[in-house]
Structure 1
Amino acid sequence: MSIRTPLSSHRTGAVTAVALAAVVVLGACSNDSSDSDNAADGATTTPTEAALTGDAPDGSSSGSSGSDGDRCHTSDLDVSVGDPDGAAGSVYRQLIFTNSSDSDCTISGYPGVSLVAGGDTQVGAAADREDTPGEAPVITLSPGDAASADLKISNPGVYGDQCTATPADALKIYPPDEKDSTTVTVDGLTGCTGDDAPVTLRISRLQG
């Protein structure tokens, strides 16, 4: 005698097989999708050295233009001092920074300036900065181009007993953000010394 399996049992088995196959396919797709997402995100679960240090891979700064790499260094500049322009109780001298290198460089901000005598002996206090609103311009100097700043030198005599007038023979000048200076010989300089001596130098920021 043959035994016939009910049709409903065959249908149930077929449905179960189809359902299991669908689960397997969906699982595989899910894994593929996860891998694709990771690839699209760069799959960077471990930070690179550049990300940890904030530097570009070559070690240079990742900052914007005007960075240390293209700034005008003291060795790139020929610094000179213009003729005096007199005013009541003071004199003005223009400090001129000319790019003497073979490449463009940028310069911005205030130079550092002091009077010196006998080579490197400072006379009086270094220059105060002229208070100017707004951000200092970033000036790009091509080879041969120049930027300048105005130095106001007050006559020590206007301060009376606060000041001991002391001769100086040069200006010691630092370009902005530089540690190396240039010394320029200038005739007729007089500084102000003493325990309570006021600052007699005032420097403007650089302009192109």
Structure 2
Amino acid sequence: MAYSSRSSKRGALLAGAVAALGLLTACGSQDVHSTPQKVSGTAVPATETSSNSASDATTAAPSTPGGGTPTTTHKPTAAPDDGTGTKAGSAGGRCHTSELRASVGRNNPGAGQENFPVVLTNKSARTCTLRGFPGAAFVNASGSQIGKDPKRESGSPATVTLKPGQSAWAGLTFSNPEVSGAGTGTPAALVVTPPDERDPLQVAWTAGPVPVSGNSSSVFLTVFSPGTGA
């Protein structure tokens, strides 16, 4: 009986130890193999439905020490472009029609030719440039063109820089109608368009008849040169 009691106690102790070990093993297994839990936070996943949150995160104003309002750095505003590649108020760039005044100089005839300088003067407050040929046409009192479009004489265009008040001139040449026998008309004005511009200037024509028809009715223009051609 004494042996059986001792054996029963030993068995009870062994069973308790085994149970305790099993409990410890089960707890360790749960810690290692359990599914990770999601933890709530402030991060937003980059998905199509979170574009507003991403935008808010990008544009949010940074905080400053002491809770004050952050100072915003403003970039300087560039001068507006006038639509032709020239910054408003800047020097350089081509002369625009609104910046020029047109006139026709005195005739310098020779060898049956009539030669007039067509002068453009910079009336603006900035320096600008002219390069190439003007556009030109004779018109009557109603504004309709008379005669053919002038032709361009051969020549190499050069850039002419005009400071305020300075001028450039292009030659306008045609054969004297009394010599050539061409048909004539008496224009009321000469319309002049600066190079690369669309808006024309108009100058009263007071030099009498010009050729408008016939084989010798051509009018020619030269490229702009510095000065007034006087």
Query: After alignment, is 164-173 or 104-113 more displaced?
Result: 164-173
- Structure 1 partner of 2:152: 129
> What secondary structure is seen at the aligned counterpart in 2 of 1:168?
coil
TM-score by length of structure 1 reads 0.61
Identity %: 31
Give the counterpart letter for 2:134 in structure 1: P
Aligned to 1:207: 225
- Matched with 1:145 is 166
Structure 1: segments with no counterpart, 5+ residues: 1-56, 61-66
Q: 1:186 aligns with which of 202, 205, 210?
A: 205
Q: Which amino acid aligns with 1:204?
A: T
Instruction: Name the CA shift for 1:59/1:100 in 2 (closer, same or farther; >3 Å).
Output: closer
**1:83 equivalenced with 2:83 (yes/no):** no
In structure 2, stretches of 5+ residues that fail to align are 1-77, 87-92
Question: Contact conserved, 1:108 with 1:139, CA < 8 A, in 2?
Answer: yes
1:118 maps onto 2:136 in alignment: no
Higher-strand-fraction structure: 1
CA distance in 1, matches of 2:217, 2:184: 12
- Code of the aligned partner of 1:152: T
Provide closer, same or farther for how the CA distance between residues 169 and 59 of structure 1 changes in structure 2, counting only shifts above 3 A: closer
Describe the shift of the 1:59–1:104 C-alpha distance in structure 2 as closer, same or farther (beyond 3 A): closer
Using CA pairs under 8 Å that are at least 6 residues apart, name the structure with larger relative contact order, 1 or 2.
1
Aligned pair 1:168/2:192, yes or no? no
Distance 2:152 2:172 in 1: 10
Residues 157-185 of structure 1: CA deviation (Å, up to 9, x unaligned): 4443xx42222122111111111111101
Report if aligned partners of 1:116, 1:171 keep a CA contact under 8 Å in 2: yes
Cα offsets for 1:114-148 (capped at 9, x unmatched): 1111141111012111111x4x1112211111111
TM-score scaled to structure 2, two decimals?
A: 0.55
What's the Cα RMSD here? 2.5
Q: Secondary structure at the match of 2:98?
A: helix
* Cα 1:166/1:197, change in 2 over 3 Å: farther
Counterparts of 1:199 and 1:59, CA distance in 2: 46
